[in-house]
Structure 1
C-alpha cells in the first residue's frame, strides 16, 4: 500500500510541473527557427524523456508545433498570447502609477515623453505637492533639443532595453539650464514589445532644488524605467 501524499507535496509537484512547462516555452525565446530535443535539453537542463512528455501536452494545446523533421517551434496559441498581451497594454494606464510614484518619492515632476513627428509629446505628467515646481501639462509638445529627455531619445531610440541595462545608471541622461535656465532634468528610455523603444521617463525640477547628480535619484529612475519597460513587454 502506497503512503498517503501530503497536500504540500502535491503543491510542490504542481509548482515544479508549471516551472518545467514555462522553462520549455522560454527556451524558444530569442531563438531562430525550430528547436531540437537536444537544443531544449541544453537550454532547460531537463532530460529528453521529460521534455517529450511535456511537449505532447503543449502540442495538443497548440502552444508548440512539431514539424516533420522532428524540430519544434512555437504554435499558434503562443502567437495568440502575444497578440492578447499587446492589445491589453495601454501606455497611459500602465505608466500613470509609475510617474505618480516617482513624483511622490522624489518630490519632483515626473513625465513620460513619446515621439510625435519631429517633436516629443508629454504623454503623462505628475507634479509634486510643492509651490516651486516645473509646470508642463500633458499634451505639451517640445523640440528634440539637448534637454535630458531629448538626449535620451537620441541615445536609445534605435537601441534595445539590453543596451540600456548594460549602460547602467551611466545611461541616464541629464541636463541643466537647457531651454529654460531654471530647469534641470534627468531621463531614462522606455521599451516595450520586442524590446522596441517606446519613449522616455523624465524627472525634472528647478535648479538648486533638483540635483541631476544625485546618485540615489538616478538609481531610482533607472530601476523604475527597467520595471516599467518590463510591464510594457520588454525583456531586460
Structure 2
C-alpha cells in the first residue's frame, strides 16, 4: 500500500494537465506542441505524452502536415449528450433565429458559472457589420448587460457572496452595483455601452422556466451606433415577450 498517495496525486495532476490542454482550444482551432506547452507552462516532453494519450483516446487530432492539434470527434460525441431535450442552447435556438431575423442583430444566451458568464448559444446578426459571438466564451460578471441580469435575479445570499467576490476581483463598488441591480429588477432588463468592448452595446432580459427559476439571460448585441438607448427601449417589449415564450419551453 506504500506509495499510493503519491501515485494518486500524480494521476490527479495528469488529469488536471490534460484538461488544461483541452481548455487551450476554447479560443483556438489548431495549436502546436510548442504553443500548448507555452500556454499551460509545462515542459514540451510532458505535454507531448499527454497529447499522445488524448490523441489515442480521440479527444485530439494531429495534422501530420502542420503537426498541429485540433479537437477530436470524441468531444462532439460527449457534447451531443449535453444537447438534451431540456437544454436551453438547443431548445431555444429557433426562437433566437426568429428574433435575429426580426431585429437584425446578434442574439446570445448566457448562463452563470461561478464569477463568470458563459455564452451557451448565439445567432449572428444579418447586418454587414455585426458582433461575432463565439459559443463557449467566458466573460466576468462585473460587466455587460447579461452579467447584470444573471446577478440581479439571484437569491439574496448568493448575490451578496458574488458581489463581495467581484469587489475583490474587479474593484466594483458594491453599494452602487446593488442599487443598479435593484433598478434592473424593477425594469426587467439591463443595458451596457462599451463596458467590455469598445464600440459595442447590448441589452439583456431574463428567461425564467415554468417553475419561475432563472435559467438564462437573453441578449441582443451590436455596434453602439445602431443599438442606441432609444432603439433598445423600443426592443424591450419584443424581448420580454420572446423570453416569456422561451421560458414556457424549459423545465
**Alignment TM-score, normalising by the size of structure 1:** 0.55
Tell me the residue number matched to 1:24: none
Residue 205 (1) aligns with residue 195 (2): no
Deviation string for 1:153-211 (max 9, x for gaps)?
Answer: 1111238xxxxxxx67x211111111112110000111225211111000011001112
Matches within 5 A, 1:75-224: 88-158=85-155, 170-214=187-231, 215-224=233-242
Q: Distance in 1 between matches of 2:112 and 2:124?
A: 21
SS across alignment from 2:134 = coil
Q: Give yes or no for contact 1:175–1:212 (8 Å, CA) kept in 2.
A: no
Report the equivalent of 1:226.
Answer: 244
Count of paired positions: 140
Unaligned ranges ≥5, structure 1: 1-86, 160-166
Give SS of 2:248's match. helix
Bigger Rg, structure 1 or 2: 1
Gaps of 5+ in 2: 1-83, 157-184
**C-alpha RMSD over aligned residues:** 2.1
Cα distance in 2, alignment partners of residues 156 and 117 from structure 1? 15
Give distance in 1, aligned partners of 2:91 and 2:155: 23
What displacement does 1:107 show?
0.8
- Aligned residue for 2:229, secondary structure, equals coil
Q: Distance in 2 between matches of 1:206 and 1:174?
A: 13
Q: Superposition pairs for residues 3-18 of structure 1, below 5 Å?
A: none
List, as ranges, runs of 4+ consecutive aligned residues in structure 1 with deviation greater than 4 Å.
none
Distance, in Å, in 1 between the alignment partners of 2:95 and 2:141 is 23
CA distance in 2, matches of 1:211, 1:225: 21
Task: Tell me the secondary structure at the aligned position of residue 117 of structure 2.
Answer: strand
Q: Secondary structure at the match of 1:111?
A: strand
* SS of 2:222 mapped into structure 1: strand
TM-score by length of 2: 0.52
Q: Provide the C-alpha distance between the structure 1 equivalents of 2:207 and 2:90, rounded to a whole number of angstroms.
A: 15
Deviations along 1:63-115, one digit per CA (max 9) or x if unpaired, are xxxxxxxxxxxxxxxxxxxxxxxx84222221111211111110111000011
Deviations 1:127-177 (A, max 9, x none): 122221111211111110231111111111238xxxxxxx67x21111111
Q: Report the Cα offset of residue 124 of structure 1.
A: 0.4
